[in-house]
Structure 1
Amino acid sequence: MGHIDNRVELDKSIQREDPKYNVALSMMASKAAYENKAFIQDTVENHWKMEIVASGDYWNDYQQKATTEAFVLLDKSNKYDTYIVTFRGTELFDADQWSYDFDVSWLELPGLGKTHAGFMKALGLQKSNIGWPKEIKTNPNHAPEAYYFIRDLLKNHLNENDKAKFIVTGHSLGGALAILFPAILMLHEETLLLERLQVVYTFGQPRVGDGIFAEYMEKNLKHNGIKYYRMVYSYDIIPRFPPDIKDDLFKHFGTCLYFDRNYNGKKVQEEPNKNYFSLSAISPMTLNAICELMRSFAMVSRFGSEYQEGWVLRIFRFVGLVFPGAPNHLPQDYVNATRLGSIPSKVD
C-alpha cells in the first residue's frame, strides 16, 4: 500500500479545531493500518506525535489462526483524549483474509437480524462457544480475539479517564469491522463504551447485514447518540457489494458521504449506482476512469508534491479503463477527499 500512497504526514493545514480533523486523521490511520507493526509505530509516534496503545494480530476462531489486524492510538489534547481504534482492510496477498471477505453466508442473531458471517468471524465470533457470549475464557496458547481484546482495553483506559472518548475506523474490510464492533457492544449492553463512542468513520466499506440489521443499527446508533459516517469515493466497487437486489439481502445504513471525481462531498442516503453491475453506469464509469487517469498527471501542478501519483497507482488507473471503479477503492483518493474535499457541515 505504501507504493500506492507513500504519505505518512498529517495535513498540517487541518488543525484540531477543524471539522475535518477527525475524519482526516481516521483515514490516515486506516491507510497506515495496511503496513507492518514497526511502520505503524514509527508513523504514529515520530510523525504524528501520538501514542500507540495496542497493535497486533487477532485470532479468528474459525480459521484457527491470527488473521485480523488492528491498532489503537491515543491522540491527546487539552480538552480530552481520543482513542482511535483502527481495523485493517484486506491484505492483497493474504488468502485467509480474502476467504472471509467472500464468506457471504448469514449469521442471524436474535433481535439483530442477519449479518455477514465472514466479517463476524474476523471480528472474533466464537466457534466453540457458539456466537457472541459476553465473556470468554482467555486462551494463553493463541492471540486474543479482536472484539474482546479491544473492548476490554478501552474499558480499562476509559475507566481511568472520565473525559476520554474513542473513535472507530477502517477502510474496506476494516470499515466493515469498524461498524460491526459497536453492533456487538450494543448486543452486550456495554453502556460505558457506547456513551464514550464519539463517531464511526468507514471508508469504502462493503455492506455488512440485511434490512433488519440496518434498522437495528439505525435505531441504536440514534438512541446512543453515536455518529456514523460511511465515506464512498466515486465508483468504488466495494461499497456496492454484496449486492442490494432484494428486500431480504444486504443493505447499507447510516449517513453516506459521497465524493465525486473532483472531491466534492455531499450527504446522501445511498451512493449513486448502488450496485456495481449496472448497464446504465458503464459509460459514465469508463469516462470517469479516463478523466482520473488524465488527472493523475496534473495533481502535482494543481495541489503540490504531496499529491504525486507514482507508477504503481497509475497502473491501477490504467486497469480502471477495463474495470471501472477498481482503482477508486484505493486509499489515495479517500485521503485526498478528506484533505481537498468539501466535507458537509456538522461532520466531526
Structure 2
Amino acid sequence: MVQPENYFLLDPREATFKDLMYLLFYSDLENRNFVDTSIENIHNDLCRFRGRWIIFVSIVVQKLMILLRKPLSFFGFVLGFWLNLPSSNGGFFKIFLNLVQRRFVWPEKTSATFASLNGNLDQRIDLGLGRSIEIGDERYKPLLSIMASKLSYENENCIRSVLQDHWQMDLLGFYTCRNDYDQTRSTEVIVIRDTKQNPNIIVVSFRGTDPFNANDWCTDLDLSWYEIMNVGKIHGGFMKALGLPKEGWHEGRINSDQTQNETSQLAYYTILRQLKDVFNQNPTSNFILTGHSLGGALAILFTAVLMMHDEKEMLERLEGVYTFGQPRVGNADFGNYMKEKLREFRVKYKRYVYCNDMVPRLPFDDKTLLFKHFGDCLYCNSFYKGKVEEEEPNKNYFNIFLVIPKILNAMWELIRSFIMSCWQGREYREGWLLTCFRLVGLLIPGLPAHSPNEYVNVALLANFSRPDSQHLSNEPLLHDYDHSD
C-alpha cells in the first residue's frame, strides 16, 4: 500500500474571483476554497508572493482552458480536416478535380490515413528511415521508443496500419483511460509487441499533450502534489492522469490488487493487467516504457508506482524507460528514491532533451516549487551533437540574458530546415507545415524544439558522450545497464 504523508491539491473549478483576489493578497493558502491540503498551516516559500503568483497564473490559465475546451477542440477538428484534405484526395491539386468528378473524399478522423498535427509535422513512419538500423544496434530501442511515442498521437486505425504494413509488429492494446478526478478520458496509451526481437519486447507508449485537448493542458499546469513517506513529493496532475483513484488515495488504498471494477479504465491498472496477461502467455517477454512530453512523465511515474507497489516481477522484466522532452515530476527526495530503485532493479533510464525545448525545463527547479530532474540528461544541441549532462543548460528556461541566443538558434533551425535533406539525406526533408512552425520559434524559442520530429532526428543522428570530468566513480550509470546480464 502507498500512504501519502502530505498532500496539496488545487481544483481550478472551485476557484472563484474572490478566491483568486484573496490568493494574491493573503498568504493563508489552506483557507482558499480551491485548495485541499493535509497541512494545517502552510509556512514555506509557496506562501510568499512569488509562490502565490505562480499558483494564481496556473489556476487562471486552467480556468481559461476549461472555458475554451469546446472551441479548442473544434479548432483542432477544423485544422485536422484541412491538413488531411490533400492526402485524402490524392494531393492538393486533385481536390478540385475530385470535386468536379464527384469523387471528393471527406477526411475521416478515425481512418487509417488520417494524421494528427504531429503526424503532419513529421510524416516519417518507417523505422530506420534509410539508416539500416538493425536490431542490436544501440540506436534501435531509442528510435523504436520515439517512433512509438510519435505514433501514440494517432488514431487506432492509423496506428494499426503503420504497425502491420510498415513495422511488422502487433498492436496489443489502444486505451483511452479515465482521470478519476475530473471524470474525463484523456490519457491515451498504446501497447505494441515487437516480435522481431527474441525474446519479444513489449513497448508501452503514453501519448503526450494533445495541443487541442484542454484536459491535457490542465494536467500539465496542475501544481498539486502528493508527498509519500520515504519516497518524496510527486506532481499531482501527472499522478491523476496516470490513473490514481480519487476515492481511497487519502486512505492509502492505492494498490495493484484493487478490483477491476474499482480501477476500470484507469491507466496504471489497465496497463498493469495487460502486461501481466501478456507475460502469462509469453513468460520470456520483457518490456520498455516510453513517452514524449506528458507521455514521458507518465512513463517514469508508471515505473515509480511499480516500485512503490513492490512489483518485483514486473520490474525485473522492465528493460528501460525512454523519455523525450519530459517535464519534471517530483522533488529531490523523489529523485534520490528513484535513482536508488533504478539501480536496485537495473533499469535503464534515458531522458532525452533537445536544445532549447522548454518542456523539460518545467515546472521550475527553484526554492518555491522544488521540482528536480534525476538521473542523467542526454542533451543534444541544434547541430545534433549529444553529450551526457547532470542537467540540461538553462534549467528553468526563462533567462533574459539568453533571449537573443535563443532567437539566433531558432533562426539557425529555420535555415537548417532548408538544407537538412542535402546534409543528411532526403528522409530529413521538412514540409511546409513544419517550416511554418519553425517561424513561430522566432517569437517563442523552444516551442518548435519540443516537436517529436526533433527527437526522431536525435535518436538517428546524435552520439552521446560524457564529459571527462564526470567520470567520477565506478558505479554504473543509470542509462548503461544491460538487462540481459
**Which piece of structure 1 moves more, 216-225 or 307-316?**
307-316
The Cα shift of 1:135 comes to 2.5
Q: Distance in 1 between matches of 2:148 and 2:185?
A: 21
Change in Cα spacing, 1:322 to 1:248, as seen in structure 2 (3 Å) is closer
For the aligned residues, what is the CA RMSD? 1.7
User: Letter of the aligned partner of 1:119 in structure 2?
Assistant: F
Q: Is the CA contact 1:115–1:213 (under 8 Å) kept in the aligned structure 2?
A: yes
Q: Counterparts of 1:266 and 1:216 in 2: how far apart (Å)?
A: 25
CA distance in 2, matches of 1:97, 1:276: 21
1:6 corresponds to which of 110, 120, 123? 123
Partner of 1:67: 186
Residues of 2 paired with 1:121 and 1:129: CA distance? 13
1:78–1:299 CA distance, 2 compared to 1 (3 A):
closer
Distance in 1 (CA, whole Å) between partners of 2:260 and 2:272 is 14
The DSSP-based 3-state class of the residue aligned with 2:165 is helix
In the alignment, structure 1 residue 135 sits paired with structure 2 residue 257: yes
Q: 2:225 aligns with which of 96, 106, 109?
A: 106
Are 1:283 and 2:283 an aligned pair? no
Answer with 302-311 or 24-33: which moved more.
302-311
Residues of 2 paired with 1:267 and 1:162: CA distance? 35
Greater strand share, 1 or 2? Answer: 1
Query: 2:245: which partner in 1?
Result: 126
Q: Which residue of 2 aligns with 1:257?
A: 378
Q: Is the 8 A contact 1:37 1:56 kept in 2?
A: no
Over residues 125-157 of structure 1, what are the superposed CA-to-partner deviations in whole Å (9 max), with x where a residue is unaligned? 1101225233323239x9511100111211222
Superposition map of 1:216-235 within 5 A: 216-235=337-356
2:161 maps to amino acid:
D
1:161 paired residue number: 282
Out of 179, 194, 217, which is 2:315 matched to? Answer: 194
Offset at residue 344 of structure 1 (A): 4.5
Indicate the residue corresponding to 1:31 in structure 2: 150
2:210 is matched with 91
Match of 2:163 in 1: 44
8 Å contact from structure 1 (residues 71, 86) kept in 2: yes
Match of 1:267 in 2: 388
Match of 2:336 in 1: 215
C-alpha separation in 1, matches of 2:313 and 2:465:
29
In 2, Cα distance between equivalents of 1:343 and 1:33: 26
Which residue identity lines up with residue 333 of structure 1 in the other structure? E
Q: Does 1:328 align with 2:328?
A: no
**Superposed displacement of residue 60, structure 1:** 0.8
| Alpha-carbon distance between aligned partners in 2 of 1:134 and 1:302, rounded to the nearest angstrom | 50
Question: 1:173-202 CA deviation, whole Å, 9 max, x = no partner?
Answer: 000000000100001100111101000000
Give CA-to-partner distance per residue, 1:90-128, whole Å, 9 cap, x none: 101001111111111111222211111010000011101
Deviates more, 1:153-162 or 1:193-202: 153-162
* Runs of 5+ unmatched residues, structure 2: 1-117, 467-478
Deviations 1:314-339 (A, max 9, x none): 12211111111111000111001111
**Contact 1:20 1:343 (8 Å CA) reproduced:** no
Determine which structure has greater relative contact order: mean sequence separation of CA pairs < 8 Å that are 6+ residues apart, divided by chain length.
Answer: 1
CA contact 2:332–2:370 (8 Å) conserved in 1: yes
Amino acid at match of 2:257: E
Equivalent pairs, count: 347
Q: 1:45-104 deviations in whole A, cap 9, x for unaligned?
A: 211001111112011101112110000100123631100000000101001111111111
Q: Secondary structure at the match of 1:3?
A: helix
Q: 1:247 Cα deviation (Å)? A: 7.8
Tell which deviates more after alignment, 85-94 or 272-281. Answer: 272-281
Cα separation, 2, equivalents of 1:255 and 1:44: 31
Q: Deviations over 1:198-234 (max 9, x none)?
A: 0000000000001111111111111111110100000
TM-score, structure 1 as length reference: 0.96
Q: Which residue is 2:303 aligned to?
A: 182
CA contact (8 A) 1:211 1:247 kept: no
- The answer on whether the counterparts of 1:185 and 1:194 sit within 8 Å (CA) in structure 2 is yes
Cα distance between partner residues in 1 of 2:349 and 2:142: 11
| C-alpha distance in 2 between matches for 1:198 and 1:96 | 31
3-state SS of 1:321 partner: coil
Letter in 2 for 1:55: F
CA distance in 2: counterparts of 1:343 and 1:159, whole angstroms: 37
- Aligned to 1:322, what secondary structure does the other structure show? coil
Mapped to 2, the partners of 1:87 and 1:15 lie a distance apart of: 24
* Residue in 2 that maps onto 1:55: 174
Letter of the 1:323 counterpart: I
Report how far residue 285 of structure 1 moved.
1.1
Task: Label 1:148 to 1:310 Cα distance change in 2 as closer, same or farther (>3 A).
Answer: same
- Letter of the aligned partner of 2:121 in structure 1? I
- Which residue type is aligned with residue 233 of structure 2? K
